[in-house]
Amino acid sequence: MKISYTIDMPDPSTQIFQITVELEEFSEESLTLVMPAWTPGSYLIRDFARHVRHFSVTGENNSVLDFIKKDKSSWKVNTSNQHKVTVHYEVYAPEYPPRVSHLDSSGASINGTSAFMYIEGYKDQTLEILIRPYGTWKIYTTLEKIAENRFRAINYDLLADSPIEIGNSRFIEFKAAGKDHEIIIQGPGYIDENKLAGDFSKIVEGFAKMMGPLPYKKYQFIIHIFAEPESTGALEHLSSCSIVVPVNAFTDEKGYVGLLSIASHEFFHLWNVKRIRPLELGPFNYKEENYTNWLWFSEGITDYYAKLNLFRSGLITKDRYYEMLSEVSNILNLLPGTWKTTLTESSFDSWIKYYKPSPDGINSYTSYYLKGQYIGLFLNIKVVELTKGMKSLDDLFRIMFEKYKKDGRGFTEKDIIGTLKEITGSDFSDFFRSYIKGLEKINEDSELSKIGLVRVPAEKKSKRKTSGIVIRKEGERFTVGGIMEGYPAFNSGMNPGDQIIALNSMRFVDGFMEKPLENNNVFLDSIYDDGADAATFHYFRNGLLGSVEIKGLRDVFSGSRIMESEQQNLETQKLRTKLMGF
């Protein structure tokens, strides 16, 4: 079958793409077109069909053809006696990147699964796409260019996995590890383009040193800058990534390191998930959930390497890297759900829990990103220990990538455990059973000591107490976002959704909140430690005033710091050197 897409955007202010699909050289009496329900890399059913408008079909001589809608995202077209069929539909694109398509007067971003329907049974067919940009807008994509504004993809999966940026964006080019790279930036703010290109180049070269020749001709970093300080997000693709950051990503050190960390994470996905992938994640079923127990590996260990690569590449100091390790450990040890959810459960339930958090999530669920990178560190320690510093977790990824290049097949648990045995000579089945499929806690102090690191208690930030209420601030309103299990507020009668108006007869203000840890989004109630053991909260629930006295206040969690031990030997230094790669 010959498949051609055309995308128009005649009036960006309407936020509507006009899409035409021309189908030729087929023999079926009917064809079914499907709009995906999710996008790979973001494990949530988004039902992109909800933004489809005015679906219609014409045949030869512009004859109107019949069709029926089979389900929420499928259209069955009657193609009887036709040699060419043209499908027309529109896509409303009001949402913002990176997981969806967007269009407005500032430019266009196209994420393939949210814009392009596929033809059932023909996802492996080569296809072409003609893009008609608005006005003087330019097109940026890694799709193969075959003519002016015309591109080719070898199959639908590649089209879906190749974001398209259209507009008058800032454009930066650089070479790294022998390959061409581009940075496309949409949004406000001053950027030191030379520094950005230089730092991204270090990220690329760091991973190239670890993994070998880069598996692409050209790579694109697409960056969207938003004014809102909490705007963050990213999505990996086969030869590009799409990143959303706030303006302060370029105005302060913390924000900029955050941007570098995101870019490093998305870039390592070139290997881990786009090529070294769980068996369940390919070929994709775009209509429904694709369950896997391995997101802790694909996302969490990617995050572990993202931060490690920043250190290896000289973009952060050793002390800053240790701070990052400390932050992960502290957050996991603060949240009760860490030790009540296995990594396989966290991965499998991502479709209903990670992207749809509930107030009880802090007590019953854990992030496969956080716990996955935590396990990544200790898995690496085990590898360097067993091989006496001759091998590291790096070797696992190099070997798995070579296996992928030979057969293109996704991995299973047997593959990972088998490769670890190939590297170390040891069986990791018990490790997986205890720490990945089970809830056994790793002895952090014992494991860190093997590479000459130690945890020391962090200095207490303030003389305050907490009842364990997680607070969400929306404008001038403070509401209960959740209550930490094991803290006195858990069984006090306070409920998620309650609007807190006063604490100890004083109007509730920002000063009664505290971040127990520096880099997390959890705010707890914070009560001056005047020797009292209780505090009284006043709140509104469904418009009715209530109050509760909470007794047994606890110290605010302060966590610990990871640092190099003063007592270490040549063996621990050797293992740490191999693990950290310096």
Is the domain of 532 the same as that of 498?
yes
Whether 117 contacts 21, CB under 8 Å:
yes
Across the chain, mean pLDDT equals 95
Whether 111 contacts 97, CB under 8 Å:
yes
Q: What is the pLDDT of residue 248?
A: 87
Question: What whole-number percentage of the chain has pLDDT above 70?
Answer: 99
* Amino acid present at 169: S
> Into how many domains does the chain fold?
4
Burial class (CB in 10 A: 0-12, 13-18, 19+), 506: exposed
Q: Global pTM?
A: 0.96
Is pLDDT above 80 for 518?
no
Q: What is the pLDDT of residue 394?
A: 98
| Arithmetic mean of pLDDT, 242-269 | 94
| Arithmetic mean of pLDDT, 227-243 | 90
Higher per-residue pLDDT: 515 or 120: 120
**Region for residue 411 given its phi and psi (left: phi exceeds 0; alpha: psi -120 to 50; beta: otherwise):** beta
Q: What is the pLDDT of residue 582?
A: 61
Q: How far apart are CA 363 and CA 385, in angstroms?
A: 34
Whether 142 contacts 218, CB under 8 Å:
yes
Is the domain of 508 the same as that of 577?
no
Give the phi and the psi of residue 65 in degrees, each rounded to 5.
-105, 150
Per-residue pLDDT of 347-375, as tens digits, reads: 999 999 999 999 999 999 999 999 999 99
Is the domain of 234 the same as that of 285?
no
Residue with tokens 């690569």, as numbered in its chain:
309
Question: What whole-number percentage of the chain has pLDDT above 90?
Answer: 91
Name 443's Cβ contacts closer than 8 Å, sequence gap at least 6: none
Domain housing 162 = 2-166
Choosing from 149, 166, 183, the residue where a domain stops is 166
Q: What is the pLDDT of residue 475?
A: 87
With respect to residue 48, please indicate whether it lies within any of the assigned structural domains.
yes
Is the domain of 136 the same as that of 214?
no
Per-residue pLDDT of 462-482, as tens digits, reads: 789 999 999 999 888 999 999
Whether 32 contacts 131, CB under 8 Å:
no
Confidence of residue 229 (pLDDT cuts 50, 70, 90): low
Residue 313, classed as helix, strand or coil, is: coil
Whether 186 contacts 163, CB under 8 Å:
no
Is pLDDT above 70 for 331?
yes
519 Cα distance to chain centroid: 17
The radius of gyration computed from the CA coordinates of the chain, to the nearest angstrom, equals: 26
Whether 576 contacts 452, CB under 8 Å:
yes
Is pLDDT above 70 for 330?
yes
Is the domain of 232 the same as that of 356?
no
Higher per-residue pLDDT: 581 or 243: 243
Q: How far apart are CA 341 and CA 367, in angstroms?
A: 9
Which candidate, 245, 243, 242, places its Cα nearest to that of 228?
A: 245
With respect to residue 264, please indicate whether it lies within any of the assigned structural domains.
no
Is pLDDT above 80 for 126?
yes
CATH number, domain at 516?
Answer: 2.30.42.10
With respect to residue 139, please indicate whether it lies within any of the assigned structural domains.
yes
Q: What is the pLDDT of residue 460?
A: 77
Per-residue pLDDT of 167-193, as tens digits, reads: 999 999 999 999 999 999 999 888 999
Burial class (CB in 10 A: 0-12, 13-18, 19+), 131: buried
Confidence of residue 304 (pLDDT cuts 50, 70, 90): very high
Is the domain of 32 the same as that of 144?
yes
